[in-house]
Structure formats: structure tokens, C-alpha cells
Chains A and B, each alone.
Chain A
């Protein structure tokens, strides 16, 4: 099914108001922090002040004696279990063993902020007072903070039971190490490739850990009832994945855990792991009362899952006529305290936009004494694209080529093999490059001193995963649509639009709701740019099911054969002419009114796991001005071009492009985890962890290219992640054009840029 073969859509491509919009802008929508239950207790967490320390002794007796304190929990309260079982978390499986040790420190605290104990009390102030009464004796150990130092075979170990798993078939290391995983992709003949090159650029790059920066802190309220049923209310990207983690961590039967998804104030990958939910559950079990826990901003920054800080080396060779003949990429990603960085995705995406015959990509996933990383929007890809796109910019400059021309000459297309050997399906890479090159922005002349323009490309593979839904027809001709996919960024709207389109109905006829884990089949997280894509398949299936059932019902009412009746795209069911020559037809709405009494109401269900995912490409153009006296970079103009396949709701797609670009701008210019030598994050507040504000960027122009994904009923590609991939290099390339300085370490903060400018002078 190719979208371009279809007639124009009626609902898809329009811009209706989201069903959850009014409640969200008026404050009525209920988020995790709004949960209030009778008799509720409030929990707080004692966290390690040290980045690396052995826990010698914990004494909670004074805290437990404080008036108002009801219970204290720590590592010993997690049940012993078989740690080898692996839950499928959608975006990267995490071994439960590591997950458990992240919930509570076991024998060692492995990062500043690592949870040591949790307290619940009748009010949050008492719980906070009680934290000061818990006595913990630490044996402080030197922290490992640098990813490459941690790789050294002689480096001290974070874990004595971590062995390197070689994903390229090399087995498992014999000795414990800080390297969790290793992989290598090879194709062609890398030595011969560099031999053939007339020009080779070889550079090293670093990025800092960066946080997703969702406005809403992590939260969870748990009620462990007397009959052993656990209910958890929280804001997450997927209640089913929360349920699975709680099942594993607490050693409870899956069916004994119910997770109720509250509205979510941003996730970007970071709200997939659980942190305080198991603590709240244990405290609830101990007290018989509901326990609510909400993180402070400092806890969010210090103890949830940012994205990896990285070291990447990119060596790329080209011939004088601009053909890229060899590329060698090496990358080491900080996993934080436990293995599981997005290094493999970073490795796969590094060269995604290009067709390069000879290549070698090698990566390492490395533990350091920092918080365990989590998924963050196109996990891993921004860092490797930063390296590759910076080197390409330098090559274009040396070859005196237009940077887009050079990229077009080497562009990946349908059939090009990615670094892991998989061939690309239909993609819009070239179309995006051409749209960038033809844009008014790219063609305009940039005037003024200290100004420069940069471009960069980005690739992301996107995901499919499971979506379950059911739909029940109401007597008034509307449809109750029930899904288990949390609404982030307008999913209720994009589900409704695709179902309305498939049934020939109006957008307002669909009444969507997101339900808890007891009310619909298991659905994967909202993440991986998968949800609107998978929703299209699910809505398509629901519609086919409903159409079939409605045809059968009409046939029954009319007393005709089932195959003589058909449901039209105008939502009218037609049968054969009656004996008197009159037309047999009934509208969806009329038929809906006749269901009750003619055999009962009609429901449909869909359970999909589509694999025909459409990869996404993005190209960004940015103009900057650099203050030569302060090193401050101002963004003057920004254009984000992206192949979106088909924009279901163009405003929400544009919002994804703008949001991704903005987060990338933050990584490029201001956001960093600033550690002191003791491994303490010195900027764990939103004052000093600097995300760009609305005043730090102009309006970002979003340009949608629609190269339909042939593997989707409506041509949809995932759109949420790839827009964070190009900004890092686009901006540093622009800084280079403005100043002549190449920023190879991010963020390119005023301090860093000024430092480079002052060193240039001397």
C-alpha cells in the first residue's frame, strides 16, 4: 500500500484539537502528582553523597523511632530472586540484577545520588527529617568518571561480576571488567579504502551526559492491598513495562500487579525505567497504606537516566572527486553505574545517511560512577552523528565542495546496506538533502560579521513493537477507542484520526481513552518513534474488523447474503437492490442505532507488531552569530527538514521537529553534567543545568518531506527521534564558519568557545 496511490485523505493531514487538550490547559488533567488516596503516606529517599563507596553499615533505628515515620526500606527488602530473567523493556533490555541494584544500592553506592534507603511518614516534611536520622557508614572509594580511563584493564572495577559481552560473536570476557558490551561492524576492506583515499580527516569528539529535561519529575504511588494485589499509579511511557519491571523486582505474579497510567509531563525515553515505584510498593506492603513518592529536581538530575557522555573517533577518507571510500568509527559510551548504554544504536546510526563501501565501526559500553543512563530520543545517534557530520564538514571544506553536494554524492538510498549489513527500504534521504539544498534558507546570503552557517544530516532507524486496542461502537454512532499506549505528543489524536480515516468517519466520532494494564492487551512503550506508526496498523485492523462485522449485521437485517453487502469509504453500507428496485443502504450512524436489538453491539480488537518500519532522515540548517568577546553563540535562524513519510497531524509533527531540534541545541550549546573530581554533579538544578529557553532560539522552521513508507497503511514513518540527531554538528559547523574554530567537545558553552577563541589569539 503506497500512500501516494490513494486518494486525498479526509482526516489525515488536518489539524484538529487534541481530545486531551482542554483538560491539560485548564489543569484538570490528572498527572502522577495529583494522586491522592485516603490514608496516604509520603516517601522520601536517602541518597549516597559519594560517587563510589562501600556501604559498611546502615542504621535506621533512630529514623524509625521518629514520630510520624511508618516504615523504612532498603536493599534487604527487595526479595531474593532469579536475576537471570530478562524483561523486555522495549528500548533496550536491562538485566533485572542491575535494575535491582539501581533501585537500592546493595553493597556499594555507585554514583552520587544512588538510593540507599527510603522512608515513609505521615507527611513529607517528617519523611525528610527522618532521612537525617539514618546513619550510614561508608568506606569511600575513588570514583571512575572518565570513560576511557574506565576501559583500561588496570582500572579499578565498579562490579566484580560484570564481564564483557561481545555482540559481534566474541563471547564473554574471562575477567571482570568495566566494559559491559563490545561490538564491531566491518564491511569491505578498510585498509584498501584508506589507501585509495586522496584525503583523510581523523578527529576525536566528546559529548557530555545530558538529561531529557522533562518538566514533570518521576513519581509513583503504590497500594499493596491485604490480598496481595499491587496497584501503582504513575507517569511513565508505558504502564505494561512498569508492570513487568515491578513483577520482576518484587517477585510478584504479573497478574497481581496493576499499573494505572496517569498523564505524563514528558519522557523522551527517560520514563521507561522504574526508580521509586518499587520502593513505594515495599513501603506500602510494610504499612498497609498507600505510599506516594515524587522526586525533587535534584533527584531527577542525579539519579534518573540521562543519555551517555561519549568519546567518538571518526576517520573518513575521500577521493579528490568527493567519493567517500573509507570510514572508521570508534566509540566509547558511558553507561553510568550499570551496563546498558545506547552505544550499539550510536554505532549503527553513525554512517546511516551514507553509502560507504569500506567501513569499520567499533564500540564499547562502559561503566563509570555516574547515574545509569536511560533512553533519550534517538539514543546514541546524536553523539556519533556529531563526529561524522563534523568530519564531513571539514572534508567538504578541504575539497572545496558545497557540504550538501558532497553528502548527496555519497547518499544512502534504497538497498544501501547499513553498517550492520541490513539493506535500507524506501527512504527519503536524498529528498531531504535536496530539500535542504533548495530551501530559501540555504540559498539565502548570510551577511554580517561573526556569523556562520552550518548543515548536518541525521539518520534514525525507528521502531515498531506491539500495540493492542479495541473499539466499541456506541448507539449514537461514535466509537469508544481503548488503547494501552500512553499519550505523549498527541497520540489520542493520531489514533483517532487514523481510525476515523479508515472508517470514513469524522475525527470527533472517535472517543479515545488510555487505560490501565488490566483493561487492554499488552502494549509497548510510547517511544522509539513507533507509536503513531504502530497505531496506524492497529487502527487499520480495527476498521477492517468493524467493517466486516457491520456488513454481516446489515446482511442479517436485510436478509441478504453476507458477500452482497459492502462498507464504503463514505461510511455507508450498501446491499443489493430490494425486489421493488429500491436501494438498500444504511449509514454507519443509522446502523449503529440499530445494533442494540438486532443482535447486540459490535466491538473490534487489534493486536499488531508491525515490522515494516520506515527509517527517518533529517537535515538541519542553522545560522549563528558568535560574540568574539564572550564566546556566546546566538542562533539567528534554524530550519529542520525531515522525511516524515506521512504527517497524520502536521502540527504535532512540526512540534516534534522543533522539540528535537531544541533539545539538540541544548546538547550543542549549554547542557552538561558538570562533575567535580569527587564525582559530584555540581549543577543539579535547572538554574545551572542549562536547557535552552524560548528566548534562546528563534522560531524553528519545520519542513516536512513526505516520502511514503510503503510498509504502512498511510505511509507513516516515525518522526519523534531523528530531529535531535543533526543539531549538534549543524551548530558546531556553523560556529566554525563564523569563527574558524572547530568545537570537538560539547557543549560549546561560552566558556568553551571563549577558551578556544582566546587560545587562537595567542
Chain B
């Protein structure tokens, strides 16, 4: 690790200035569970960390039954699963928040940090995508909002420009007929990185799918919103056949690589398996069934 400087702004304006001044060597610091590892391994040349956790908006959780949920980008996972409104209304967020790292990491790791790290295997990103998350960005040229599915542009790359950072992520209010689920596949039972992950969200009219979103991760340069999976479902009854069609769409959409974490064949296969499993469990949640977040596949 090279010697570096840490600054702690208390306002958004101050943070923008410090990031802008720092140029390429400046990075925002939220929980630090990725950026400190990156700095230590000298994967990137980092000489200033801008700790954004002293800015009130970055750790706030705001819930309104009409307008939905906004979470500060640096809000740690444990604040999310410790918040009754989030637990009640967004079980898929809890799925992601409870399986990232162990308890210690969950005290630090945040959804904003996970999104900005922009790893293809980020375990919150498919959830954010299917819940129609929007990243609220501040920067030298003012504020802008980007849907999460458009945020990542490649492994470790995203739409943020010089001096920009994510302030918060907003999600629309959930639908009474809706349900969502996130699952990942890892070789161990904990402390691991996804070989493939997936989230599905559905809204049902009786047995018919009124609306659906499916997202898969670790199978392409960025987490994917699989439009073909939604197309295979919307307007149709939720049956083994339509679920299988959606699963096949995910498999077709996946363009994984062979690496030490998984093979192409394995990841394409898992894209289908996890799409099927998340859809089945999202539908059960939509029907009011309580499916605990922790407890595997």
C-alpha cells in the first residue's frame, strides 16, 4: 500500500471539490471494503480517499409509502436490515444486505459502494436493478440521476465523471401484488464471491404476470437486465413453462468468461438455474409468503 491522505468532508459541495481537486488519484471512501483492498494491492494508483460518511445525506434512510425508499450511498448493510421499513417493504434488499461478507463487513459495506465498485459480480446490483433503483449523482456540473442498469459500463468502470459521486439510491414504492428475490451461487456457504447471481421481481394479477424484471450478475462485463426474461413472462401465466422460458432467456443473455471462479458452461447453466429459483421465490413473496433472506437456495 502506498502512503495516502484521507479527507472527511461534511457537505456534498465540499466532497465534490475535494474529488475534483484530487483528479484520478482521488476516490470516494464509503465502507472501504473494496477501495482499501484495491489501494493496498495497488490495483489503482490512489493518493486521496474522500471519506463521504460525514455527509448526512450519504447515510440517511428515507421511506415514504407513496414515493418509496431513498438510501444514502454509504449506508452500511446492517443499517438496512436493522430498519423495519426496509425489512417490511424490500425483502430483496435484505437478501443482498445479509449475504454480503460477514457481520463485521456488513457494519461497513454499503449499496452505494458496491454499485460504484462496479464489479460484474456485485451482490447488490441485480437487486437494485430489478427494484428499479436510480443512482442520484452529484458532481461539478450539478446533479443527475441514472437508472442502476445503465450505471456500470464494464468491470470496475461506470458512468461517473471527474468529481462525481453517488449520493443516494432511490427505489419506487413496492406494489402490493409484487415480490422480489435475490440469490447467488458460491462454492462455499459464506465469505465468497458469486460465480453467478440473479434477482427477479414480479407483479402478479392472480396467476398472470403483470410486470417482471430479471437481472443476472457475474456472467457479463456488467450486471445485466435481461429484457428477454421479462418478455417471456409479462402477460402470461406464471407456469413452469414460462419460468423455463425466462431462465433460457437469461442463459442466452449471459456472455460469461472462463476464469478461476467459474467456467462459461457452468455460469450459463447457473444463469438459468438462478433465474428460475429467484422467479419462483419472488412469486411466492408476491403471494404473501414469508421467505427468509438467509437460508440458501
* B187 and A670 within 8 A (CB): yes
B66 on interface, CB distance cutoff 8 Å: no
B152 within 8 A of A: no
Task: Tell me if B143 is interfacial: C-beta within 8 Å of chain A.
Answer: no
The CA of A367 and the CA of B207, in the complex, are separated in Å by: 63
0/1 string, B145-189, CB within 8 A of A gives 1: 000000000000000000000000000000000000000010111
Given contacts A688-B261, A693-B191, A751-B263, contact A758 B269 (CB under 8 A): yes
Question: Nearest Cβ in chain B — how far from A407, in angstroms?
Answer: 31
B26, chain A: closest CB distance, angstroms: 19
**Closest chain B residue to A632, Cβ basis:** B187
Q: Considering the complex, give the chain B residue whose CB is closest to the CB of A691.
A: B188
Q: Does B103 contact A (CB under 8 A)?
A: no
CA distance A242 to B1 in the complex (A): 30
B195 at the interface (CB under 8 A from A): yes
Give the complex CA separation of A284 and B2 in angstroms.
24
**Bound-complex Cα distance A755 to B270 (A):** 12
User: Is the CB–CB distance between A682 and B265 below 8 Å?
Assistant: no
- Which one, B188, B190, B192, B269, contacts A754 given CB within 8 A? B269
Q: Give the complex CA separation of A690 and B193 in angstroms.
A: 10
Q: Considering the complex, give the chain A residue whose CB is closest to the CB of B42.
A: A128
A669 to B189, CA, bound (A): 12
What's the least CB distance linking B241 to chain A, in Å? 18
Q: How far is the CA of A627 from the CA of B192 in the complex (A)?
A: 18
**Docked-complex contact B266 and A693, CB < 8 angstroms:** no
A668-698 CB mask vs B (1 if < 8 Å, else 0) is 0110001000000011000110101101100
Q: Is the CB of B191 within 8 A of A682?
A: no
Chain B proximity of A475: nearest CB distance (Å): 49
Q: Identify which of A129, A629, A688, A693 gathers the most chain B CB atoms within 10 Å of its CB.
A: A629
Chain B residues positioned under 8 Å from A10 (CB to CB): none
Would you give the shortest CB distance from B281 to chain A, in whole angstroms?
14
Q: Is B237 an interface residue (CB 8 A)?
A: no
- A754-B269, A758-B269 known; A630 vs B297 contact (CB < 8 Å): yes
- B265 contacts A630, C-beta separation under 8 Å: no
Distance A128 CA – B42 CA, assembled complex (angstroms) = 10
Q: Once bound together, how far apart are the Cα atoms of A629 and B187, in whole Å?
A: 13
Residues of B within 8 A of A687 (CB): 191-193
Which residues on B sit within 8 Å (CB–CB) of A674? 260
In B173-226, the 8 Å CB interface with A consists of 185, 187-193, 195
Contacts of A696 in B (CB 8 A): 188-190
Interface pair A670/B266, CB less than 8 Å apart: no
> Within B105-136, which residues are at the interface with A (CB < 8 Å)?
none
* Cα separation A755 to B258 with both chains bound (whole Å): 13
**A369 CB–B CB distance under 8 Å:** no
Q: How far is the CA of A290 from the CA of B210 in the complex (A)?
A: 71
Inter-chain contact A693/B189, CB cutoff 8 Å: yes
B188–A695 contact, CB under 8 A?
yes
B190 CB contact (under 8 Å) in A129, A627, A683, A695: A695
Instruction: Flag if B2 contacts A129 (CB, 8 Å).
Output: yes
Tell me whether B84 is interfacial, beta carbon within 8 Å: no
CB pair A755 B265 closer than 8 Å:
yes
Residues from chain B with a CB closer than 8 A to the CB of A631 are 266
B273 at the interface (CB under 8 A from A): yes
Q: Is B259 an interface residue (CB 8 A)?
A: yes
Asked, given contacts A125-B1, A688-B193, whether A670 binds B188 with beta carbons under 8 Å apart, the answer is yes
Confirm or deny: A750 has a beta carbon within 8 angstroms of a beta carbon on chain B. yes
CB distance from B106 to the nearest CB of A (A): 15
The yes or no answer to A749 lying at the interface (CB within 8 A) is: yes
User: Which A residues lie within 8 Å of B195 (CB)?
Assistant: 750-751
| With A630-B297, A687-B192 as contacts: A125 and B2 at CB distance below 8 Å | yes
With a CB–CB cut-off of 8 A, which chain B residues contact A754? 266, 269
Nearest CB on A from B136, distance (A) = 31
Q: How far is the CA of A71 from the CA of B189 in the complex (A)?
A: 46
The DSSP consensus for interface residues of chain B is loop
Interface centre among B3, B192, B266 (most CB of A within 10 A): B266
CB < 8 Å: which of B3, B189, B266 contacts A751?
B266
CB nearest to B296 among chain A residues: A634
Chain B neighbourhood of A670, CB < 8 A: 187-188
Neighbouring B residues of A669 by C-beta, 8 Å = 187
* CA A682 to CA B259, docked complex, whole Å: 8
Residue B235 is within 8 A (CB to CB) of chain A in the complex:
no
A630–B1 touching, CB < 8 Å: no
Interface centre among A125, A630, A682, A695 (most CB of B within 10 A): A630
Q: Nearest CB to that of B1 among chain A residues?
A: A125
Residue of A whose beta carbon sits closest to that of B261: A688
Does B262 lie at the interface of the complex (its beta carbon under 8 Å from any beta carbon of A)? yes
User: Do residues A128 and B1 form an inter-chain contact, with CB atoms below 8 A?
Assistant: yes
Contact A630 B192, CB 8 Å, known A125-B3, A688-B260, A758-B265: no
Chain A contacts of B188 at CB under 8 A? Answer: 670, 690, 692-693, 695-696
Please tell me if the beta carbons of A751 and B262 are within 8 angstroms of each other in the complex: yes
Q: Which of chain B's residues has its CB closest to A686's CB?
A: B191
A634→B186 CA distance, assembly (Å): 12
With A125-B1, A129-B2 in contact, do A630 and B193 touch (Cβ < 8 Å)?
A: no
- Least CB separation from B191: chain A residue: A693
Contact with A along B214-257 (1 / 0, CB 8 A): 00000000000000000000000000000000000000000000
Shortest CB–CB separation between residue B247 and chain A, in angstroms? 11
In the complex, what residue of chain B is closest to A631 when comparing beta carbons? Answer: B266
Q: What is the chain B residue whose CB lies nearest that of A694?
A: B190
Which among A129, A627, A683, A693 is the interface contact of B260 at CB below 8 angstroms? Answer: A683
Cβ contact of B187, chosen from A128, A690, A695, cutoff 8 A: A690
Q: Which residue of B lies closest to A666 (CB)?
A: B188
In the bound complex, residues from chain A placing their C-beta under 8 Å from that of B273 are: 629-630
How far is A129 from B266 in the complex, measured between Cα atoms in Å? 40
Partner of B266, one of A128, A627, A750: A750
Residues of chain A from 720 to 762 with CB closer than 8 A to chain B in the complex: 749-751, 754-755, 758
Q: Which residues of A contact B187 (CB under 8 A)?
A: 632, 669-670, 690, 749-751
Given A125-B1, A630-B273, A688-B261, residue A693 in contact with residue B297 (CB < 8 A): no
Q: Which of A128, A129, A682, A690 contacts B192 (CB 8 A)?
A: A690
Could you list 28 examples of A-B contacts with CB < 8 Å?
A125-B3, A128-B2, A129-B2, A629-B273, A630-B273, A630-B297, A631-B266, A634-B189, A670-B187, A670-B188, A674-B260, A687-B193, A688-B261, A693-B188, A695-B189, A695-B190, A696-B188, A696-B189, A750-B185, A751-B263, A751-B266, A754-B266, A754-B269, A755-B263, A755-B265, A755-B266, A758-B265, A758-B269
The 9 A-B pairs of least Cβ separation, nearest first, read A682-B260, A674-B260, A695-B189, A683-B260, A695-B190, A629-B273, A751-B266, A696-B189, A125-B3
Binding site for B on A (CB under 8 A): 125, 128-129, 627, 629-632, 634, 669-670, 674, 682-683, 687-688, 690, 692-693, 695-696, 749-751, 754-755, 758
